[in-house]
C-alpha cells in the first residue's frame, strides 16, 4: 500500500486532484459499471449492486411517502443488516440528511436525539418506537427482493437530463443537491449534560472519499471491507462510502464483532481484505486474526499504544494506517502508515490543513491542534454559542474559511509528523468513544442520593465518585444505563464522605482512591471452573480476588474485557463461549455453571 504526503509544508495536505464528485454520483456509476458484483454482505443475506440500487429506490419511496424532501433530517434505527446501507443511501438519494439511531442505545437517549436533531421521519424495523414523528417501517428480513424498481418511483422522476447510458434507473437522484447540503447529523457527548449534534456536509463526505483515495489509503482495485463500527460512531461513514466507489462492504453482526474466533472465521469466510477498528478492539482480536491472511487495518478512534505500534510495524504482510480526526472534521483529517518505533498521527490528508497554535492563535511547536479544509462541519445543531466557540475563522489561511479547534494538544516532531499529546480539557476516549465526563455527571447528579459527583477514566473504563447518601452501585448503574450508551456507564461507583482537595481548595483528582473491587463478602469460588474463571476475571480486570457472587460488570467489566474472558475460557476448557453469554450470566457462579454445561459437565 502506498501512502503519499507532501514533502513541505507538512501542515497543508496536497490539493485534491479534482473537485470531488458527490458520493451518490459515485454510487450510480458503480451500479452501472458492475451491477452483478456483490455490494453488501450482512447477517441477513447479501445484495448485488443492482439489488442494492433497487432496495435504495424502495426505501426512498417509503421515505418520500412519509414526507421526506431535500433538507429533511431522517432518523435511521436499524440492526446491522442489508437494509442499513440501503436506508442511508436512500436518505441521500432524496437530498436529505440521516441521523444515526443505534438500536443498542437506551430509548430515552434515542428520543432525545430525535428531538434535538429536528428529525422529521424515522426509518426503522421497530414496531411503534414511540417517537412523535412519522415512521417508515422496514419490511421483514425475509421479504422477497423486487426484480425491478417500482414503476411509480421512475415515473415520479422530475424533468431533467436523462440518465447516462447503462445507469440503473433506481438511483437517478430526484433532488438537486450541493456540497453544502447536510449529509448526516451525528451526536457526540456534551459537557453540559446533553449530547451535541454535529452537522456534516455532503461536500465533506465526498472530499473524505477523494482524499483517502488520493493518499493511497483506499486501494485502486475493489476491496472487501469489514463494516465494524456502530452507526453512531463516525467511522461508519468511512465504511458506508466504500460501497459508493465500488467496494464490497461486509457488515459484521453484533455477535460476530464481539467474539474474536467468530470474527476471524467470518473474515476468512467472506474474504475480507480491510478492517476498520480501534486499538482497543485490535488488542482483543489480535491473537485470533494474526494467524490468518494479512489484512489492511485502518486504525483510529484513540491513540495507538507504543507497544502495539511496534508490534504492528514488525508484523510481516500486515499493513496498518493510523487515522486521526474529530467528528467535526468529517471522520479523518490526518493519516500515518504504521512503521518505525514511535506512534504518531502523521500529516494532513489531501485537501486538509492542520495547525498547531498557541493561546493567541499563533503557530507554536507545542499547542492546540486546529483543522481546516472542506471537511470542517457546519457546526453544532441548535448550539450557536458552542459553534462560535469551536469553529473559528482560519486566521492562518486568511481566506474567509473556518477552522475547528480540536481541544487536542500536539506538536511537530523532527520528521514532520504530528505527535498527539492528549487533551486540553476533560474530554476522554473510552474504547474509541469520545466522552465528556460532565454529561455522565449531570445524569448521575439527578439521583437524590448524590449531592456532588465526579467521573474520571480508570484504565479503559470510567469510575464515578460521589458524596451524599451511600447507595448500591447497581441502582446507580441502572439509572445511568436507562439514559446513556453502555460506553458512558461507569464500571465503578465509590461513595466518599467528602472529596479530597488540593492546598488551594480545588478538587484533587489525583487523590481519588482506586475503586474497591473484589473485596466484597460472600462465599469464595469453589471447584475448578469457578476457581479458574475467578482467576481469569482477576487477571483481566486487575483485581486481587473474585468471589462466587461477584458481578462481572460491577467489577469493571465491559465488552472488550469480555472478549478476553471468552478467549481464556476457550483456551482452558476448549469451550466456545459467545460473548453474549457473559452478559446473560454476569455473576461468576452462574457463568461457571453455564461453562460447565457447555463443556459436558466439568465440576
Instruction: Judge if 352 and 372 occupy the same domain.
Output: yes
Instruction: Judge if 321 and 416 occupy the same domain.
Output: yes
**Per the domain annotation, does 125 fall within a domain?**
no
Query: Which residues constitute the domain of residue 400?
Result: 1-20+206-223+273-434
**Per the domain annotation, does 319 fall within a domain?**
yes
For residue 260, the model assigns a pLDDT of: 83
Where residue 504 falls among pLDDT bands split at 50, 70, 90?
low
Cell triple for 168: 440503473
**Per the domain annotation, does 468 fall within a domain?**
yes
For residue 55, give the 3-state DSSP assignment. helix
Answer yes or no: is pLDDT of 163 > 90: no
> What does the DSSP assignment read for 128-181?
----SS-EEEPPPTTPPPPSS--HHHHHTPPSSSPPPTT--GGG--SS---TTS
Instruction: Judge if 576 and 545 occupy the same domain.
Output: yes
Instruction: Judge if 376 and 284 occupy the same domain.
Output: yes
**Per the domain annotation, does 425 fall within a domain?**
yes
DSSP H/E element including 39: strand 38-42
Instruction: Judge if 464 and 535 occupy the same domain.
Output: no
Dump pLDDT digits (tens) for 25-40.
999 999 999 999 999 9
Judged on CB neighbours under 10 Å (0-12, 13-18, 19+), 421 is middle
Instruction: Judge if 503 and 551 occupy the same domain.
Output: no
**Per the domain annotation, does 242 fall within a domain?**
no
What CATH number should be reported for the domain holding residue 536?
Answer: 1.10.1200.10
Least reliable range by pLDDT among 204-218, 323-337, 490-504: 490-504
For residue 417, the model assigns a pLDDT of: 94
Average pLDDT over residues 264-288: 91
Dump pLDDT digits (tens) for 315-343.
999 999 999 999 999 999 999 999 999 99
Beta bridge partners of 47: 40
For residue 602, the model assigns a pLDDT of: 53
Instruction: Judge if 419 and 440 occupy the same domain.
Output: no
For residue 121, the model assigns a pLDDT of: 94
Average pLDDT over residues 93-101: 96
Instruction: Judge if 214 and 332 occupy the same domain.
Output: yes
What CATH number should be reported for the domain holding residue 465?
Answer: 3.30.300.30
Dump pLDDT digits (tens) for 68-77.
999 999 999 9
Cis peptide upstream of residue 344 (ω within 30 degrees of 0): no
**Per the domain annotation, does 603 fall within a domain?**
no
**Per the domain annotation, does 27 fall within a domain?**
no
More confident residue, 337 or 281: 337
Instruction: Judge if 277 and 364 occupy the same domain.
Output: yes
For residue 427, the model assigns a pLDDT of: 85
Phi then psi for 600, rounded to 5 degrees?
95, 20
Average pLDDT over residues 294-322: 94
Instruction: Judge if 305 and 404 occupy the same domain.
Output: yes
**Per the domain annotation, does 37 fall within a domain?**
no
Give the end of a domain, one of 393, 419, 434. 434
pTM for this entry = 0.81
> What sign results for the dihedral spanned by CA atoms 213, 216, 221, 223?
negative
Instruction: Judge if 479 and 396 occupy the same domain.
Output: no
Structural domains of the chain, count: 3
Closest CA to 26 of 235, 187, 328, 245: 245
Answer yes or no: is pLDDT of 520 > 60: no
> What sign results for the dihedral spanned by CA atoms 484, 490, 493, 496?
negative
Instruction: Judge if 279 and 350 occupy the same domain.
Output: yes
For residue 162, the model assigns a pLDDT of: 36
Amino acid at each position: 500500500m502506498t501512502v503519499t504526503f507532501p514533502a513541505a509544508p507538512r501542515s497543508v495536505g496536497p490539493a485534491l486532484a479534482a473537485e470531488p464528485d458527490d458520493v451518490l454520483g459515485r454510487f450510480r456509476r458503480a451500479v452501472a459499471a458492475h451491477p452483478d458484483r456483490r455490494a453488501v454482505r450482512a447477517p441477513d443475506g447479501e445484495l448485488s449492486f443492482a439489488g442494492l440500487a433497487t432496495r435504495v429506490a424502495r426505501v426512498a419511496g417509503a421515505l418520500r411517502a412519509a414526507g421526506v424532501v431535500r433538507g429533511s433530517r431522517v432518523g435511521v434505527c436499524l440492526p446491522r443488516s442489508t437494509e442499513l446501507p440501503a436506508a442511508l443511501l436512500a436518505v441521500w438519494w432524496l437530498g436529505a440528511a440521516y441521523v444515526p439511531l443505534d438500536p443498542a442505545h437506551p430509548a430515552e437517549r434515542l428520543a432525545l436525539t430525535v428531538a434535538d436533531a429536528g428529525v422529521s421521519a424515522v426509518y426503522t424495523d421497530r414496531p411503534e418506537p414511540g417517537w412523535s414523528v412519522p415512521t417508515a417501517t422496514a419490511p421483514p428480513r425475509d421479504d422477497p427482493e423486487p426484480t425491478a424498481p417500482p414503476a411509480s418511483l421512475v415515473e415520479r422522476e422530475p424533468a431533467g437530463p436523462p440518465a447516462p447510458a447503462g445507469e440503473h434507473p433506481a438511483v437517478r437522484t430526484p433532488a438537486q443537491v450541493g456540497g453544502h447540503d447536510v449529509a448526516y447529523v451525528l451526536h457526540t457527548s456534551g459537557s453540559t449534560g446533553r449530547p451535541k449534534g454535529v452537522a456534516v456536509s455532503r461536500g465533506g463526505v465526498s472530499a473524505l472519499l477523494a482524499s483517502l483515495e488520493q493518499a493511497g489509503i483506499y486501494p485502486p482495485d475493489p476491496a472487501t471491507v469489514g463494516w465494524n463500527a456502530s452507526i453512531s460512531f463516525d467511522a461508519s461513514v468511512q465504511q458506508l462510502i466504500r460501497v459508493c466507489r465500488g467496494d464490497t462492504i461486509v457488515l459484521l453482526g453484533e455477535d460476530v464483532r464481539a467474539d474474536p474466533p467468530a470474527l476471524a472465521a467470518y473474515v476468512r469466510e467472506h474474504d475480507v481484505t480491510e478492517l476498520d477498528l480501534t486499538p482497543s478492539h485490535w488488542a482483543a482480536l489480535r491473537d485470533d486474526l494474526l494467524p490468518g491472511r494479512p489484512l489492511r487495518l485502518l486504525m483510529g478512534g484513540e491513540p495507538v499504544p507504543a507497544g502495539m505500534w511496534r508490534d504492528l510495524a514488525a508484523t510481516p504482510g500486515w499493513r496498518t494506517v493510523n487515522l486521526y480526526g474529530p467528528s467535526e472534521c468529517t471522520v479523518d483529517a490526518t493519516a500515518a502508515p504504521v512503521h518505525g518505533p514511535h506512534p504518531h498521527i502523521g500529516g494532513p490528508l489531501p485537501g486538509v490543513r492542520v495547525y498547531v497554535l498557541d493561546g493567541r492563535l499563533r503557530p507554536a511547536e507545542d499547542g492546540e491542534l486546529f483543522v481546516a479544509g472542506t471537511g470542517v462541519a457546519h457546526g453544532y445543531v441548535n448550539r450557536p454559542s458552542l459553534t462560535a466557540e469551536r469553529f473559528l475563522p482560519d486566521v492562518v489561511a486568511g481566506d474567509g474559511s473556518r477552522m475547528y479547534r480540536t481541544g487536542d494538544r500536539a506538536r511537530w516532531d523532527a520528521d514532520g509528523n504530528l505527535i498527539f499529546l492528549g487533551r486540553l480539557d476533560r474530554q476522554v476516549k473510552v474504547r474509541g468513544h469520545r466522552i465528556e465526563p460532565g454529561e455522565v455527571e449531570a445524569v448521575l447528579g439527578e439521583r437524590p442520593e448524590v449531592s456532588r459527583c465526579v467521573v474520571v477514566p480508570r484504565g479503559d473504563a470510567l469510575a464515578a465518585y460521589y458524596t451524599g447518601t451511600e447507595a448500591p452501585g447497581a441502582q446507580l448503574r441502572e439509572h445511568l444505563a436507562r439514559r446513556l450508551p453502555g460506553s458512558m456507564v461507569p464500571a465503578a461507583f465509590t461513595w466518599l464522605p467528602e472529596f479530597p482537595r488540593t492546598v488551594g481548595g480545588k478538587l484533587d483528582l489525583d487523590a481519588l482512591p482506586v475503586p474497591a473491587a473484589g473485596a466484597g463478602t460472600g462465599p469464595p469460588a469453589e471447584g475448578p471452573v469457578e476457581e479458574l474463571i475467578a482467576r481469569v476475571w482477576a487477571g483481566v480486570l486487575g483485581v486481587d480476588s473474585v468471589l462466587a457472587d461477584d458481578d462481572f460488570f460491577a467489577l469493571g467489566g465491559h465488552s472488550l474485557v469480555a472478549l478476553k474472558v471468552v478467549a481464556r475460557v476457550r483456551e482452558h476448557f476448549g469451550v466456545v463461549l459467545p460473548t453474549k453469554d457473559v452478559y446473560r450470566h454476569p455473576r461468576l457462579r452462574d457463568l461457571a455453571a453455564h461453562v460447565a454445561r457447555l463443556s459436558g459437565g466439568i465440576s
